[in-house]
Amino acid sequence: MLVMIAGLMALLTVGSAAMAETGGTPQWSLALHGGAGTLDRKDMTAERDAAYRAALQAALDAGSAVLAKGGSALDAVTAVVVRLEEDEKFNAGKGAVFTWERGHELDAAIMDGKNRAAGSVAGVTTVRNPVLLARRVMEASPHVMLAGRGAEQFAKEQGLELVDPAWFDTAPRREALERMTRDKLSALDVDIKFGTVGAVARDAAGNLAAATSTGGMTGKRWSRIGDAPVIGAGTYAENGACAVSATGWGEYFIRVGVARTICARMSMLGESAQAAADAVIGEVAALGGDGGVIVADAKGETAFSMNATGMYRARATSAGLREVAIYADEK
């Protein structure tokens, strides 16, 4: 009898531990995006679809591995974004869109929710992984934002890997610029998606972090800078509130202050990540902009919101959730 009771109790203990993990706060959670925009099934071949899903899965695995080992949210979002910067399918690092002058100007940001430390870079042309430079700005400089030549100089002093600007070139991005200039189109006509990458995470210690990296918009000129490196617009993290990374038409995201507004709604109005994200993406839409966000909250809930036909995205938790999706109508 005693043995039976002990056995039953052991079973109950296992059961409730499993329930705590699936039903309550997960120890860690992670969400990422690879850009939002016009993503129609009819423009996508089965191979392309599979290649994007595999790339999103690989990035998700890279970040999950960090968090599963007890690593920080900051290290997890860094690992995800580096991985996506290295993948030429995405508009960040290799595979970045071309500027009007046929170069690449890369923007990136990272923020640590623990102390609201932040670093960002804008308009860099030779830094292989701009998110690593943003992290150095946060950790090794007294500043938050560096741009252009000065940012390159800082990268050199920090010993970061520099590449020839042509290293970022890819044929599909060149073709998009050629089509844009030839047919007098806008960036929105030639980019089947925006392609920026980003990640948000909550680690087992409860810390939140966010990172974003982008080549910006095809054919950008006059040293145009988008929302990604603007803290509070494309990127934001604050423990106890939320972590956000955005993608979309940057000018609108800057004007709405998207990431910070989502966090403020959550902490001041008590809104859920989903409700706050939907409300703020609604503001972007009302002004005529489009794009999407990924959000993580203090409890490790994650949310996606977009006013676009698709957003490359994925998420995972310690409780076993694993999702990779592309189209808006996918779960």
Q: Please tell me whether residue 295 adopts helix, strand or coil conformation.
A: strand
Q: Is residue 226 at the binding interface for ligand ASP, with CB under 6 A as the rule? A: yes
What x-and-dash track marks residues 145-184 binding ligand ASP by CB under 6 A? Answer: ----------------------------------------
Residue choice 217, 241, 243, 298 for contact with ligand ASP (CB under 6 A): 217
Q: Taking contact as CB under 6 A, which single stretch among the options 222-230, 262-270, 271-279, 305-313 is the one that binds ligand ASP? A: 222-230
Q: How far is the CB of 311 from ligand ASP (least distance, A)?
A: 10
Q: Taking contact as CB under 6 A, which single stretch among the options 11-19, 165-173, 227-235, 257-265 is the one that binds ligand ASP? A: 227-235
Nearest to 288 by CA among 275, 311, 307, 309: 307
Q: How far is the CB of 261 from ligand ASP (least distance, A)?
A: 16
DSSP letter, residue 91: S
196 given a catalytic annotation: yes
- Alpha carbons 126 and 129: distance in angstroms, whole number: 9
Residue choice 214, 235, 245, 307 for contact with ligand ASP (CB under 6 A): 214
Nearest to 52 by CA among 95, 21, 101: 95
Residue choice 34, 113, 250, 300 for contact with ligand ASP (CB under 6 A): 250
Instruction: For ligand ASP, give the closer residue by CB, 105 or 301.
Output: 105
Q: Is residue 219 at the binding interface for ligand ASP, with CB under 6 A as the rule? A: no
Run of H or E including 137: helix 130-140
Q: Please tell me whether residue 92 adopts helix, strand or coil conformation.
A: coil
DSSP letter, residue 32: E
DSSP letter string, 189-203: HH-SS---EEEEEE-
Q: Is residue 290 at the binding interface for ligand ASP, with CB under 6 A as the rule? A: no
For β-strands 106-112 and 208-214, DSSP reports them as antiparallel
Q: How far is the CB of 69 from ligand ASP (least distance, A)?
A: 30
Q: How far is the CB of 59 from ligand ASP (least distance, A)?
A: 16
Q: Is residue 257 at the binding interface for ligand ASP, with CB under 6 A as the rule? A: no
Distant-in-sequence, close-in-space partners of 297: CB < 8 Å, separation ≥ 6:
202, 241, 242, 266, 272, 273, 303
Report whether 262 contacts 242 (CB < 8 A).
yes
Residue choice 72, 196, 213, 307 for contact with ligand ASP (CB under 6 A): 196
Please name the residue that has the structure tokens 């979309």: 248
Q: Is residue 216 at the binding interface for ligand ASP, with CB under 6 A as the rule? A: yes
Run of H or E including 13: helix 2-23
What x-and-dash track marks residues 66-105 binding ligand ASP by CB under 6 A? Answer: -------------------------x--------------
Q: How far is CA 141 from CA 9, 112, 113, 195, in A?
A: 55, 15, 18, 29
Q: How far is the CB of 229 from ligand ASP (least distance, A)?
A: 9
- Alpha carbons 9 and 143: distance in angstroms, whole number: 56
**Active-site entry in 78, 196, 261, 302:** 196
Residue ranges that bind ligand ASP, judged by CB under 6 A? 35, 91, 194-196, 214, 216-217, 226-228, 234, 247-248, 250, 291
Residues noted as catalytic: 196
